[in-house]
Structure formats: C-alpha cells, structure tokens
Amino acid sequence: MKKIILIRHAKSAWDNPWLNDHDRPLADRGKKAAPFMGQKLVKKNIFPDLILSSTALRAKETAILISKEIGYPINKMELIDQLYHSSPSLMMKYLHMQKDHDNIIFLVAHNPGMTDLVNYLGYPLDNLPTAGIVGFQSSVEKWCDLKPENVSFWFYDYPKKGK
C-alpha cells in the first residue's frame, strides 16, 4: 500500500516585502505550527520513508521542523526546485518517479498547487491552510500506477483544528 501525505508549508513571514518570494522564511506562527503538525503525525503513528520538499525556504523549513518532530533524518530529505509553485500534474510526476520500496511519502509544497492536487485526488477542499496536511492511500504496488481512480482519502488535519 502506498500512502501520500500532502503538506502545505507553514505560515510565511511577510515583514520584508522586497525579499524574493523563494527566499521567504517562516513566520513565528509557522515556526510553531510545523512542529505541532509533526507531533500530530507522531500521534497518528505516521512516519515517512521519504520526504520531498520544494526548495523554497518556507517549505524547506517546514519539512525540517516536521522531520525533527518525527525523527526523520534531514539529510535524507529530497529538495526539488520544480516543486516551487508546481502544478498537480508535476507533483504527480514526481510521485510517479519514486522508488517502489518507499511506501509513505511526505510532499511539502505550495498553494494553489497543493489544494488543486488534493481536489484532483478526490477530496473536495476550497483551500488547504498553511501547515495543513491531507493523507491519501492507494493499494497500488508501484508509484507509477498511482492515479485518482485508485486513491482514497485517508485524513485531513491543520493547526487550528486543535489536538
């Protein structure tokens, strides 16, 4: 069984309007929300075989903070430049390319692509909030066989949902 955990980066800081968007760091709220969501994943007993993240600073920081909470080695995380503001089809392409021995993959990226991917996979959602997480599972054995028809919704969680 393959499981995908889609994670939108936590809240970013906007106090420097001249900063390149790719280099925008997490806000204080985001620095609290990411570890909190990592703790929620631990409580659900969800641990990744692989974490894929956008190279944007706020996504990378989110992935690192969650990794620390769940005990995932940060040096195993794969940073992919093309995940920065990517489309659902591009995110699916990267999932399709993964090694089949990895069964649980966390994908950390940005809106609107993340919300669009959640909807594409069959869970109706207006907006995936910052640090929001949506899990899907599939009985396929190969990542290349993953498609909306063989994926089912697993769970949805976000920081303001509480404990």
pLDDT tens track for 101-126: 999 999 999 999 999 999 999 999 99
CA distance 39 to 163: 10
**29 marked ligand binding residue:** no
pTM confidence score? 0.96
Task: Give residues with Cβ within 8 angstroms of 148, minimum separation 6.
Answer: 120, 121, 122
Instruction: Report whether 5 contacts 48 (CB < 8 A).
Output: yes
pLDDT tens track for 37-80: 999 999 999 999 999 999 999 999 999 999 999 999 999 999 99
Q: Where are the alpha helices (DSSP H) in the chain?
A: 28-43, 57-70, 88-96, 113-120
Tell me the pLDDT of the chain averaged across its residues: 96
Average pLDDT over residues 92-97: 98
User: What pLDDT is attached to residue 163?
Assistant: 58
The type of residue at 32 is K
Residue 162 pLDDT grade (very low, low, confident, very high; cuts 50, 70, 90):
low
The class level of CATH for 2-153 reads alpha beta
Residue 161 pLDDT grade (very low, low, confident, very high; cuts 50, 70, 90):
confident
Q: What residue spans define the domains of the chain?
A: 2-153
CA distance 102 to 11: 29
User: DSSP 3-state assignment of 159?
Assistant: helix
CA distance 42 to 39: 5
